[in-house]
A = this chain, B = another copy of it.
Amino acid sequence: MVDARFFPSAGSLTLAEIAALTGASIAGSAEAGKAFSSVAPLEQAGIGDISFFDNIKYLDAFCQSKAGACFVRPKFVSRAPAGMALLVTEEPYFAFAQTSTKLYPAPAWEPGISPHAHIAPSARIGAGVRVDTGAVIGEDVVIGDGCRVGANTVVDARVELGEGCQIGANCTLSHCILGKRVMLHRGVHIGQDGFGFAPSKQGVIKVPQLGRVLVGNDVEIGSGTCIDRGAGPDTTIGHHTKIDNLVQIGHNVQIGNYVFIAAQTGIAGSSTVGDGAMLGGQVGISGHLAIGAGVKLVAQSGVMHDLAAGGTFGGSPAVPARDWHRQTVALGLIIKKKPDAQ
């Protein structure tokens, strides 16, 4: 089902090779030497495809799937349709991702500086770098080995990119230092002024934004996301943190390592988010708050107070998720008791 125009397969793997790669064990009607070269979701997979079953919502799809092979948890092995080769593991999605990565590695690209890129003479460009058409690289920019800068992206003076960064098309970067293997998707804006204005009886003035954005290693940032530079402290994003599309990160925000932030979430100035936190979509965090390590926030949560490490929270204003669920239930009961309230 994979469109080979966009995603050419790198070859094929036998079930035995897949088992070795992923640690899965082979079960069902499986010949260890049988080879597969493509993957597909349960509903669309055919006899030549590898699929996975990891979310109970798709049990019916699993039972009816025509996939030739499928990663599955041990407890669902008995539900598999006849004829499906099973790759049994406690982590079907992870194993599927490993296999997909092997069959469809990220497409290779040729290094080289486009003759239509605009690179300041003082910029230092590493080995094996690609800079695409229309990209603009400012004075004293440092681009590490193996980086790729997309078309029409603008990198302002003195920005530094660690080795192996991939910057999408139409991004803008200023006042920032990126670690290694950072991936920015298209249209990301990093380093612009934070929203800082000082009110007074004499009027309002703009506050100079004198910090930077520091991004750790192996960070991924989604399309349209904006990360403002610090006002004085730096705005920081920790290692391995993954940020989805259209997210807003205000000035001075400090985000830890291994944090996941879903789309359209906003974090106001000077708040901190601890390691391993997981923020759902459209979450809002007010300014100057401390979100503890490992906190989970339900989508659309509105955080107005510090949150203790490890908790799960929901609602706006956000409360412990258990209380939020109870509130939801209680509101449902109230209107049943008062059918003529309106």
Give the interface of A toward B (CB within 8 A): 1-3, 5-7, 39-41, 43-44, 55, 57, 91, 93-94, 96-98, 100-101, 104, 106, 116, 118, 132-134, 136, 140, 150-152, 154, 158, 168-172, 175, 185-187, 189, 192-193, 195-202, 204-208, 210-212, 220, 222-224, 226, 228, 231-233, 240, 242, 244-246, 248, 250, 252, 258, 260, 262-264, 266, 268, 281-282, 284, 286, 288, 299-300, 302, 304, 316-317, 319, 323, 325-335, 338, 341-342
Contact = CB atoms under 8 A, between A and B. Distances in A.
Q: How many copies does the complex hold?
A: 3
15 contacts: A41-B231, A41-B233, A100-B210, A133-B136, A154-B170, A170-B172, A189-B223, A195-B222, A222-B226, A223-B226, A224-B224, A248-B263, A281-B286, A317-B328, A327-B332
Q: Is the interface of A mostly helix, strand, loop or mixed?
A: loop
A273 to B, nearest CB: 15
A335 B327 contact: yes
Contacts of A246: 224, 226, 246, 248, 266
A232 B41 contact: yes
